[in-house]
Structure 1
Amino acid sequence: MSTPNPPYPPQAYPPIQPPKKRRIWPWVLLGILVVFIAIVAGCTAMVGSAVKSVSDDSKRVVHVTYKVTGDSQDATITYDMNGNTTQDSSVALPWSKQTDVTGISKYVSLLASNGIEGTGSITCQVLVDGKAIITNTASGPGASASCSGSVDTK
C-alpha cells in the first residue's frame, strides 16, 4: 500500500519581521526649520518696528522758545538755532527767540551772560509748549546762566 498524501501540503510560516522603524529625522528637521523661520520672522518684525519708531521720532517737531530775563542792558546770548550756534551781543532784556527742533537727538543750548557792568541777575529758560523745562539763574558782573539739555518730551 502506498502512503496517503496528506490533504494539504504543510504550510510554512512566514518569517517574523520586526516592525518597520519610522524615520524620525525628517520630522525633527522640519521642526527645526519651522522654529528657525519663526525666529527670523520675529526678529525682522522687531527691527522693522524699531526702524519705523526712530524714523517717526526724527521727523517729529518740538516747538522751543528761548527766553532770557534779568536786569542787564548789555547781555550776550549764545543759542542753538536749527543746528547753528548764534550769538546776540549787547542785548537789552527781556529777550526771547523761537525755533523748531527736529532730529533723533532733540538737544538745545542757551547761554546768557551779564555784561561787565551788569550787577543784577540773569535767568535763562527753555520752554516747550509754553512750559519751562530748563531754567538757570546767575548774578553779578559777567555772570553766565546756562540752559542746555534734551527737549524730547515724548
Structure 2
Amino acid sequence: MTDYTPIQQQAAPPAAPPRNGLGTAGFVLGLVGLVIAPIPLAGVAAWPLAVLGLILSAVGIARVRSGKATNKGLAIAGVVLSLLALVVSVLWLVVIGKVINDVNEQATQHHTIVYEVSGNAKTADIDYSTFDRNTILINTEAGAAVPWTRTVEATGFLAGAQFTATAGPDGGSVTCKVVVDGKEAKTATAAGPGAVAGCTGF
C-alpha cells in the first residue's frame, strides 16, 4: 500500500502596507500654504509650499489608483488646498503690484499748487510750504497785504504741507484756500486780530 504525503500549501505573503506618506505630506503643505498665503511678506513662502503640496498630492492620488495607498480623500484635499493657496498668492501679487504702481505714480507726479489768502483784513502773516525734491520747506511772509497769492510747483507726495494765514493786529477776516492741479483742496476762514485760518493737510 502506497502512502501519500499531503502537500501543504504555502500561505501567500502578507500584502505590503499602504504607503500614504506622499498624499499626507501634500495635504500638510497645501494647508500650511493656504494659512500663510494671505499674510503680507510671509505669503511669499506660500508659493513653493503650494506647488510642492500640489505635486505630492497628485502623486498621492496616483498611488491610490495603483493600489499603493489608501488616503484618497486626504490627497484630494491636498490638491484643493494647494490650488487655493496658489490662487490667494496670485491675488496678493496683483494687489501688491497695484499698490507699488500707485505709489510710484504718486512719487513722480507733478503738481501745481496755488495758495490764496483773501478777506477784509488789511494784512496777514502767512506760512506756506514749498517743495525741493523730497524736502518740504516752510516759508513765512509777515505782514503780507491781503489779498495774496502764490503758485508753487511740486513733484511727489504732498503729505505734511502747511498753509496758514494769521490776521494782522487790525483784525478783520482772512480766508485761506489751496488749489492743487486746478481743484480746490482746502479752505478755511477766521476773523479777528491774530485769528488763524488753517489750510494745512491738503
- TM normalised by structure 2 equals 0.58
Distance in structure 1 (CA, Å) of the matches to 2:21 and 2:29? 12
Deviation at 1:127, TM superposition (A): 1.6
More helix by share: 2
Give the one of 48, 58, 61 matched to 2:107. Answer: 58
Which residue number in structure 2 is paired with residue 96 of structure 1? 149
Aligned: 1:80 with 2:129: yes
**Pairs within 5 Å for 1:1-150:** 3=2, 10-33=6-29, 39=37, 40-41=46-47, 42=89, 45=93, 48-49=96-97, 50-82=99-131, 83-99=136-152, 100=154, 102-103=156-157, 106-117=159-170, 119-149=171-201
Unaligned runs of 5+ in 1: none
Q: Select the structure of larger CA radius of gyration.
A: 1
8 Å contact from structure 2 (residues 108, 155) kept in 1:
no
Deviation at 1:26, TM superposition (A): 2.4
Distance in structure 2 (CA, Å) of the matches to 1:10 and 1:56? 92
- TM normalised by structure 1 equals 0.72
| Equivalent pairs, count | 144
- Calculate the aligned-residue CA RMSD, in Å: 3.0
Aligned partner of residue 162 in structure 2, secondary structure? strand
Identical pairs, percent: 26
Aligned partner of residue 12 in structure 1, secondary structure? coil
More strand by share: 1
Deviation at 1:69, TM superposition (A): 0.6
Aligned partner of residue 107 in structure 2, secondary structure? helix
8 Å contact from structure 2 (residues 164, 196) kept in 1:
yes
Aligned partner of residue 106 in structure 2, secondary structure? helix
Aligned partner of residue 161 in structure 2, secondary structure? strand
Aligned partner of residue 113 in structure 1, secondary structure? strand
Higher relative contact order (CA 8 A, sep 6+): 1
Distance in structure 2 (CA, Å) of the matches to 1:14 and 1:132? 96
8 Å contact from structure 1 (residues 64, 101) kept in 2:
no
Which residue number in structure 1 is paired with residue 69 of structure 2? none
Deviation at 1:101, TM superposition (A): 5.4
Aligned partner of residue 121 in structure 2, secondary structure? coil
